[in-house]
Amino acid sequence: MSTLHTVNKSPFERNALTSCTGHLLAGDAVLMIEDGVLGARTGSSAVAVVQAALESGSVYALAPDCAARGIKPDDLIEGVQLVDYAGFVDLVAQHQRTVAWL
Amino acid sequence: MAQKKKFLYLNRKAPHGTIYALESLEVVLIGAAFEQDVSLAFLDDGVFQLMAGQDTTAAGMKNFSRTFKALGDYDVRKFYVERESLAERGLTVEDLMPITYEDENEDYAEKPSIHLVGRAELAAIIADQDVVLSF
Amino acid sequence: MQLAIVVNEGPYTHQASDTAYHFTKAALEKGHGITRVFFYHDGVNNGTRLTVPPQDDRNLQKLWSELGEKHGLDMVVCIAAAQRRGILDADEARRHGKDASNIAAGFRISGLGQLIEAGIEADRLVVFGD
């Protein structure tokens, strides 16, 4: 009974990512969208939070939102997977519920 | 619509600064008529929605905080307040409005609607839902 | 699978409506059904036909209207949120003594019960907001 969590806020401005990852259960997935993808870049102060999420489940970033913000696939934290909108739909279908951390 | 689903309202935003808390409450009120299994979660700045003694007169905002107290009459009786969120903000449950409901199975005894839960407990509550509405 | 979509922000200020649009389009292309698209909070502003965005930018209202028409989507604007923000259909305009209505093609105004109902009927509900 896993959950897909969407995060659309920059971790440098809001606590959505931290709050989300604090409520993950094993097998859950986090999808960073919109400004949330700013947390997907390696080398930032948000890496530890993302790595903690990767330990309990999967972490995805929406590719069109990364591209729009100049974040290249090579810039991503290791383990973070890129999905397009179709992949977003698949994630929603694969998990029993979706929780938006607005 | 025979099936009963578990609906959770995830409240993470403070009242008054934005309209989300007020309009979320309006959904709760309308949703109560659908006789689903409803829970409300208050975490992060959402715990401020339940602060006692909100006086919006001088700010000119609508004071909708009293409406929370009426939700018991609509069978909305599960208010999960996250302990860590309170602590991070220097709050305790004593700072919140007392919210109760009358238990018709126990001679209408007044019972608290607010349940303090830890972060891990709230994670389990989220994982138990069919629909999670966040605003 | 049947999906319900909730859009809580208006066009342009936040990306939420864009993301919801692309998600809905992708879901339809994958063969999923859309139970309803429910516009709430400032999301009701997606349903005004009076927006005039610059020529070189997307027209979100038009995109939603076209997607709605193509797939027969039920696109509902919350009445309470719409009244606060000046989104009216002809009936509402008449009822409140306003001299114009502005609801865009493909959108309809209805109550919050439509949101709860969508949550009950759909297999998944996805919220897009800010």
All structural domains of chain A with their residue ranges: 3-101
Per-residue pLDDT band for C3 (boundaries 50, 70, 90) equals very high
B23 at interface of A, judged by CB pairs closer than 8 A: no
Chain C residues close to B6, C-beta within 8 Å: none
In angstroms, the CA B66 to CA C43 distance is 26
All structural domains of chain B with their residue ranges: 6-134
Q: What is the pTM of this model?
A: 0.97
pLDDT tens for each residue of C94-117: 999 999 999 999 999 999 999 999
Give the pLDDT of residue B134: 96
Per-residue pLDDT band for B13 (boundaries 50, 70, 90) equals very high
B36 at interface of A, judged by CB pairs closer than 8 A: no
Q: Tell me, what amino acid is at B63?
A: N
Chains touching B, CB cut-off 8 Å, 3+ pairs: A, C
In angstroms, the CA A36 to CA B134 distance is 16
For chain A positions 14-33, those within 8 Å of chain C (CB to CB) are: 33
Selecting from A3, A15, A22 the residue whose C-beta is nearest the C-beta of B127 gives A3
Per-residue pLDDT band for B3 (boundaries 50, 70, 90) equals confident
Mean pLDDT of chain C: 98
Query: In order of start, what are the domains of chain C with their CATH numbers?
Result: 2-128 (3.40.1260.10)
Q: What's the rounded mean pLDDT across residues A83-88?
A: 98
C115 at interface of B, judged by CB pairs closer than 8 A: yes
pLDDT tens for each residue of A33-53: 999 999 999 999 999 999 999
Chain-chain contact of C23 with A84 (C-beta, under 8 angstroms): no
In angstroms, the CA C88 to CA C97 distance is 11
Please, what CATH class does the domain formed by A3-101 belong to? alpha beta
Indicate which residue of C3, C20, C60, C78 is catalytic.
C78
Q: Minimal Cα distance from B131: which residue of A?
A: A97
* Beta-strand relationship, B100-103 and B109-112: antiparallel
Instruction: Tell me, yes or no, if C32 is annotated catalytic.
Output: no
Q: Domain spanning B6-134: which superfamily?
A: DsrEFH-like (3.40.1260.10)
In angstroms, the CA C99 to CA C109 distance is 18
Q: Minimal Cα distance from C1: which residue of A?
A: A93
In angstroms, the CA B117 to CA B125 distance is 10
Per-residue pLDDT band for B2 (boundaries 50, 70, 90) equals low
| Mutation for testing the C interface, residue in B6, B23, B24, B126 having most C CBs under 10 Å | B23
C129 at interface of A, judged by CB pairs closer than 8 A: yes
Supply the ipTM of this predicted assembly. Answer: 0.97
